[in-house]
Structure 1
């Protein structure tokens, strides 16, 4: 359950921080972090609608994750 954990506190970057570039789109509310080598957005950091720190992690970049085993839930970010 997503609401049961704190994604910002649970995110621990073990290596590669020096290879990340930050970019902020549009309202600059989310810090998108991209790999300088391959250009993939690894994760983003920001503040949620309730004011708490949040992290959005690109699961495609995690070792051992079977994307086809995941059950995605629709999310309407435009309505925030």
Structure 2
């Protein structure tokens, strides 16, 4: 099982999440995602969805749903 994952939005790395006990901590690799830096998520899917929601909010239009939602549906 991996303990770190890259989170991508629109083909660019938004950051990584690192396993920290029972949760994953987001570490922004792009300043556009600094608002998420240090936030904790239950899993990679939740972190990816938050990154997509964040960028959609900064653009003022809906972003394409994360790949995990397109493949497996919304949770």
Per the normalisation by structure 1, the TM-score is 0.32
Determine which structure has the larger helix proportion and give its number.
2
For the pair shown, the structure with the greater C-alpha radius of gyration is 1
Instruction: State the TM-score, normalizing by the size of structure 2.
Output: 0.33
